[in-house]
């Protein structure tokens, strides 16, 4: 695996590649990231990963300074997964001057759910992804479905700017008990880790209610919020939205259940697509 720390090194290494396949990460890699790397491997003639903790997508009170950085372990995992090139820029390399030019995504998608509770988050996400795309110049990029709204945001950005990048979604990778893997799971205490599976269980209960024929979506959402709050969680949202744009669903549209909740000091997100939805 070749490790490029500058844009010039990266472009030189990829100069002969006609279809780079790219997986951007913030490091602290887990099996979910590695599954995305393996998914990307057959999609291009060179597999590229990036590790960059992007300051622009962290709010002032969030965990930028303490976000886990596990460089040696990450490199070992990427090598084992068959990664060809790792792009690992410093802030000075990626942002050599203050990044005053930023991507401002459509507020209809960017200012709801995660964007409501983390104002400016998707500006930071879209800006860094756009810049990484310019550096790597991939023809395909793989993003995990666990960050469902983020995946939709990137697809929207690529479509709006006519970028020559195919965006592929990777299924959420889960632990045996159903907890979605996340770098922030490492913040959980032993007891919190045992409790954390309740988030995915709440989503499953929402999906089961819809499939059973319940049509009062607001009641389903309120029940899910209450179920977590009663267990000591601080839920931000548990909602049912249509998959196409995360707005309120119309009759018969496929849904996705999305959740974000804080357990102790750790904020977790998850989602669950609901297939073959009967008419509302």
30 noted as active-site residue: no
Vertex 156 angle, CA 160 and 138, to 5° = 80
Q: Which residue has the tokens 């790397």?
A: 37
End-to-end CA distance of the chain: 51
Backbone angles phi, psi at 261, to 5 degrees: -155, 150
The DSSP result for 230-267, as a single string, is TTT-EEEEEEEEETTTSSPPPTT--EEEEEEEEETTEE
Distance CA 225, CA 216 (A): 15
Alpha-carbon distance values, 103 to 58, 86, 100, 167, 213 (Å): 15, 25, 10, 18, 41
- Packing angle between helix 121-136 and helix 148-160, nearest 10 degrees? 60
Active-site residue (options: 33, 61, 104, 116): 33
Q: Which of 172, 181, 64 is nearest to 124 (CA)?
A: 64
- Packing angle between helix 217-229 and helix 198-211, nearest 10 degrees? 160
Q: Which of 73, 19, 26 is nearest to 47 (CA)?
A: 19
Q: Which residue has the tokens 């990044």?
A: 99
Cite the active site residues.
33
């Amino acid at each position: 695996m070749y490790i490029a720390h500058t844009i010039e090194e990266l472009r030189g290494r990829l100069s002969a590649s006609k279809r780079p396949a790219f997986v951007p990460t913030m490091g602290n890699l887990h099996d979910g990231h590695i599954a995305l790397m393996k998914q990307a491997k057959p999609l291009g003639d060179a597999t590229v990963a990036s590790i960059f903790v992007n300051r622009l997508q962290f709010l002032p009170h969030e965990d930028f300074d303490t976000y886990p950085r596990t460089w040696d372990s990450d490199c070992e995992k990427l090598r084992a997964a068959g990664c060809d090139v790792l792009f690992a820029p410093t802030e000075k390399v990626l942002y050599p001057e203050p990044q005053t030019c930023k991507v401002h995504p459509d507020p209809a998608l960017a200012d709801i759910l995660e964007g409501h509770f983390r104002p400016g988050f998707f500006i930071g996400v879209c800006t860094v992804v756009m810049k990484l795309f310019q550096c790597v110049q991939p023809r395909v990029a793989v993003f995990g479905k666990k960050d469902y709204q983020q995946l939709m945001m990137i697809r929207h950005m690529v479509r709006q700017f006519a970028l020559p990048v195919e965006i592929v979604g990777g299924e959420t990778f889960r632990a045996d008990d159903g907890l979605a893997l996340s770098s922030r799971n490492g913040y959980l205490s032993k007891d919190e880790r045992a409790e954390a599976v309740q988030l995915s269980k709440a989503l499953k209960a929402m999906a089961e209610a819809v499939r059973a024929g319940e049509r009062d979506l607001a009641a389903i959402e309120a029940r899910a919020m209450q179920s977590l709050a009663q267990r000591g969680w601080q839920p931000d949202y548990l909602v049912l939205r249509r998959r196409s744009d995360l707005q309120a669903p119309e009759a018969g549209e496929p849904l996705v259940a999305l959740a974000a909740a804080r357990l102790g000091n750790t904020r977790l997100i998850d989602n669950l697509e609901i297939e073959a939805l009967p008419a509302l």
